[in-house]
């Protein structure tokens, strides 16, 4: 999933355990390593037709997930490497195309968040498809919970509406099994720890793995209690995202960064989620501090709700920008599901445009 913050492309090498080198000389060449995602979701239990390299990249270009320059570089190199393409089961694990000190392909990832079941699960399914088609790079899907301590009033209200309509974990999983195989964008679940404990960590990880989910965010698990969660996530090919905040001490932040599997989630402000008039200037310094401690991608969330804020945070060096409450409000407060989906599409495209 972390690849979505770097390059946004899908492929399978004939020998996926072998990296290959890109560069104009051995000094500045970059090794591209390949990691296989063996999802056993519906997409893995039926035959997946291989499509050509040009068709794959045309799809990705239309969604704004790959630059024109990288498109032609990949065509040249991957034809030479005899690459076999599949869509969408396999992801590059890490891709940093650097010639000297200049990034050739640096697109900041757009990571929208929506609440499952608000206004209903059928609309959620359609919203996932909309977000997938509008240039999202990772989609966060919130599992509604009765005591969402990290969430502000907009997402709390969405969770309340969703639960009142009978949405539960099993119905969300059923929906995801139907929808995830149709998506080219990785999905990360955002859930509190209690629903995980209720089912048992091993069983929970197995269940979400079988849907094709790639990532997991659990905001109320402290680092000291996350070891077993991280172990089971890794065992099931799930990338556990850890959060750091503006008040996290430096030593603890470094431990969080070391433990993160997918990307580092930088909470941009104190308090709960929700739209804010501006993003704190402290975020720029926090980003610099985290990037000095790790090469892992860093995504910034909490309080980001406009195209201007998205662009500002990207300019500060974020690898990804997470937008939640603004998305949730569009779906939850629309006059009809159709109107909400249309507004979601327009808003997502405006954010994608701000990052390109």
Residues designated as active site: 140, 151
Q: Using an 8 Å Cβ cutoff, are 322 and 303 in contact?
A: no
Which pLDDT value is given to residue 107? 75
Can you tell me the distance from the alpha carbon of 285 to that of 274, in angstroms, rounded to the nearest whole number? 22
Instruction: Give percent of the chain with pLDDT exceeding 70.
Output: 67
Which pLDDT value is given to residue 155? 92
Question: 176: which residues sit within 8 A by CB, 6+ positions away?
Answer: 141, 187, 211, 212, 213
Which pLDDT value is given to residue 25? 34
* Tens of pLDDT, residues 242-277: 999 888 999 999 999 998 887 899 998 654 454 555
Q: Using an 8 Å Cβ cutoff, are 241 and 188 in contact?
A: yes
Which pLDDT value is given to residue 19? 37
* Tens of pLDDT, residues 26-77: 333 333 333 333 333 333 333 333 344 455 555 555 555 555 555 555 555 5
Torsion angle (degrees, nearest 10) of CA 43, 47, 53, 54: -90
Q: Domain residue spans in the chain?
A: 2-103, 109-355
The torsion angles phi and psi of 30, rounded to 5 degrees, stand at -120, 135
* Tens of pLDDT, residues 144-185: 998 878 778 899 999 999 999 999 999 999 999 999 999 999
Give the residue among 105, 100, 77 at the shortest CA–CA distance from 28.
100
Q: Which residues pair with 299 in a beta bridge?
A: 265, 320
Please state, as a whole number, how many other Cβ atoms lie within 10 Å of the Cβ of residue 294: 15
Please tell me the pTM assigned to this model: 0.74
109-355 topology per CATH: TIM Barrel (3.20.20)
Give the residue among 118, 117, 113, 96 at the shortest CA–CA distance from 105.
96
């Amino acid at each position: 999933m972390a690849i979505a913050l770097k390059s946004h492309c899908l492929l399978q090498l004939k020998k996926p355990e072998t990296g290959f080198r890109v560069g104009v000389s051995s000094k500045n060449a970059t090794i591209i390593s390949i990691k296989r995602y063996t999802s056993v979701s519906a997409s893995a239990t039926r035959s997946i037709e291989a499509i050509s390299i040009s068709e794959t990249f045309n799809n990705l270009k239309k969604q704004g997930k790959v630059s024109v320059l990288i498109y032609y570089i990949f065509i040249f190199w991957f034809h030479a490497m005899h690459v076999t393409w599949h869509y969408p089961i396999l992801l590059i694990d890490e891709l940093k195309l650097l010639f000297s000190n200049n990034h050739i392909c640096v697109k900041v990832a757009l990571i929208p968040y929506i609440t499952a079941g608000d206004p209903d699960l059928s609309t959620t399914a359609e919203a996932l498809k909309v977000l997938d088609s509008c240039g999202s790079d990772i989609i966060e899907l919130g599992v509604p919970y009765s005591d969402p301590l990290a969430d502000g009033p907009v997402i709390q209200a969405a969770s309340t509406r969703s639960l009142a309509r009978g949405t539960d974990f099993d119905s969300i999983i059923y929906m995801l099994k139907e929808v995830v195989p149709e998506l080219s964008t990785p999905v990360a679940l955002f859930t509190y720890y209690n629903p995980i404990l209720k089912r048992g960590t091993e069983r929970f990880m197995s269940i979400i793995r079988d849907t094709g989910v790639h990532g997991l965010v659990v905001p109320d698990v402290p680092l000291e209690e996350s070891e077993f969660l991280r172990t089971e996530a890794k065992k099931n090919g799930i990338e556990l995202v850890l959060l750091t905040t503006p008040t996290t001490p430096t030593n603890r932040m470094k431990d969080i960064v070391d433990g993160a599997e997918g990307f580092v989630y930088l909470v941009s402000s104190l308090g709960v989620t929700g739209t804010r008039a501006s993003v704190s200037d402290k975020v720029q310094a926090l980003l610099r501090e985290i990037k000095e401690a790790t090469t892992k991608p860093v995504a910034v969330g909490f309080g980001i709700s406009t195209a201007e804020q998205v662009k500002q945070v990207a300019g500060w060096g974020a690898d990804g920008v997470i937008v939640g409450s603004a998305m949730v409000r569009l779906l939850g407060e629309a006059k009809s599901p159709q109107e909400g989906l249309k507004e979601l599409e327009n808003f997502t495209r405006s954010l994608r445009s701000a990052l390109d």
